[in-house]
Amino acid sequence: MKANTAVAITEGAPEWVEKRRYEHTTEDKKKSNLDNVARDILYKTLDKNMFNKIKTCTTAKEIWEKLIQIYEGNDETKENKLTVAQQKYESIKMREGETMAEFDERFSAVVIELTSLGKEYSNRELVLKVMRALPKEWDVKTMAIRESKDLNKLYLHDLFANLKAYEFELETRSEAEPSKSQLTKALAATSEQCSQALESLQNN
């Protein structure tokens, strides 16, 4: 709170009025103390460079508004950030070799960014976006989810949990089964052994 000032209500609107410290009421002192606490908390979160930008602010509210302006920018800056974030959202695809956990982290980061800029999507929109961003190999799984789940009630974290479980199941099954090359080698070796055994019998 500004030095030697207190809040007064005039026609329903709060405004700063000059008061000597000995004129402060108990309520004035309480508000002043809360403001000091809030400013102290904000100061502790700032580095030296950022502190220099807000050190002229006299109240926690002024500091907070200044920080919002610094980090979020003006309306034009926000609009540009929103446009870029929406472009990332529209074009996002699961990359080759990317795990579902990695894609989850990348997709969620874009959604969080959009939310912070005031753009939100429904559960259904997010779920469908994820499904469309997956490679064709996931079509069978996504089709099963569409048929068995109410997409309006399916949360993003639940969808990714389902997809991660399926991915783990596929990986486990793949590790348990021999690869095609291994199977081919095994069949070739068996065939050769049979041929050698048959040839040995014929010679005898």
Residues in the chain: 204
Q: Specify whether the backbone of 9 is left (phi greater than 0), alpha (psi in -120 to 50) or beta.
A: beta
* pLDDT given at position 198: 54
- At residue 75, the pLDDT reads 72
Instruction: Report the alpha-carbon distance of residue 54 to residue 93 in Å, rounded.
Output: 41
d(CA 17, CA 9): 10
Residue showing tokens 């002043």: 32
Which tokens sit at 184?
């081919």
Percent of the chain whose predicted confidence (pLDDT) is above 90: 42
Q: Where are the domains of the chain?
A: 5-72, 75-176
Tokens representing 124 are: 């259904």
Residue found under tokens 């974290």: 157
pLDDT at 1: 42
- 162-197 residue pLDDT tens: 999 999 998 888 776 655 555 455 545 555 655 665
What is the pTM for the complete model shown?
Answer: 0.55
**Phi first, then psi: what are they for 8, rounded to 5°?**
-125, 155
